[in-house]
Amino acid sequence: MFPFSVTRQPKPQSHRQAQAAIHEGSGYELISFDAEKLNVFAAEVYYCEPHWHSAPELICILSGEFSVTLGHATSLASAGSMLYINPDEIHSLEARAPNSQLLTIQFSPHLFDETHPAPLMFNQGDRAAEQQISNAVIALLDNLVTAQPSFTRIALIYHLLGSLATTAPNQADQQQVGVRKKDQQSVKYGIEFINQHFDDELNLATIAEHAGVSYHHFSRIFKKISGYNFKEYLTMIRINKAKLLLKDTNIPITDISYTCGFSGHKQLIFAFNKYCRMTPTEFRKSYLTTLNSAAELQIMTDFRCLPLDRQIVARLQSFNADPQ
């Protein structure tokens, strides 16, 4: 999610490059890793659209509250909560409170093999297991912050994975894996099609046909798995594409509206007001001036990276000292 994704493109140098760039990406996120096969970052996040990647991911909520859609379930996660995301599982999140921040740990698929597969977790809530995982996270983060020897870090990575593996899915969960994967694959086909054809006239029937399922079944599973209905998701994708053109080019707003699939500039303005609490013109001006306030920039961007430091370690330790 975000900093280590290699799907992010450099700033376009022309209108043609910009218009081509907004068609990049399908919903699948390709993540890069260093030699230690681990990514750790903290961020203040406003919104993360539905996506998936082959790297399992552990998220610790540092402050605020998020609405998180993971697989078939949507729930609220507040400060002190932890979420484990299975490989290739569709997930999304949206801040529900100001200054909502999280710590993310991504594990390279190269850490696993047939004998030692990635942990699979479907239910959280075991306080003893969560305490063990939290302690392992704190130890690993402390190692990163204080730049301790790398061999110690490798041991801590596997210790954390071992802690995650102790929270294994029960038999009922395992019996539902095949059904879940089938529905998720259908939704992935739909998301990929939407992301590649967002500038066309799209309707749910067309997407369902592409995914190979019935209209009503796709409508139900799309909402359940992505957390958004079809129209909401399509509108937010178009808004995100428009944001790239608004901040990276001087293409007229009317042209941007058509390029991104809106039927006209009024529809683009309405969507921006609804989802961004501002107009496209206000959004563009925020990137053209050097007088932006921190609060304005926080609204403009979907995330803001935070430094990994002792304060984050202390915050995680405070959650252990004051169990929820």
Domain 174-228 in CATH 1.10.287? The answer is: no
- Name 73's Cβ contacts closer than 8 Å, sequence gap at least 6: none
Is it the case that residue 195 has pLDDT exceeding 60?
yes
Residue-wise pLDDT for 10-68, tens only, equals: 444 455 555 555 455 556 677 888 888 999 999 999 888 888 888 999 999 999 999 99
CA distance 194 to 198: 5
Q: How many residues does the chain have?
A: 324
Name which residue leads in pLDDT, 96 or 70. 96
Residue 19: the pLDDT is 53
Residue-wise pLDDT for 79-122, tens only, equals: 999 999 988 888 888 899 989 999 999 999 999 987 888 887 75
Range 18-121+124-168+303-321: architecture per CATH: Sandwich (2.60)
Q: Is the pTM of this model over 0.75?
A: no
Domain definitions of the chain by residue range: 18-121+124-168+303-321, 174-228, 230-288
Q: At what angle do helices 127-145 and 150-165 cross, to 10 degrees?
A: 170
CA distance 119 to 164: 6
* Domain 174-228 shares a fold with domain 230-288: yes
Short-list 259, 265, 192, 264, CA closest to 222 = 192
Domain 230-288 in CATH 1.10.10.60? The answer is: yes
Q: Using CA atoms in the order 105, 108, 114, 117, what is the torsion angle rounded to 10 degrees?
A: 10
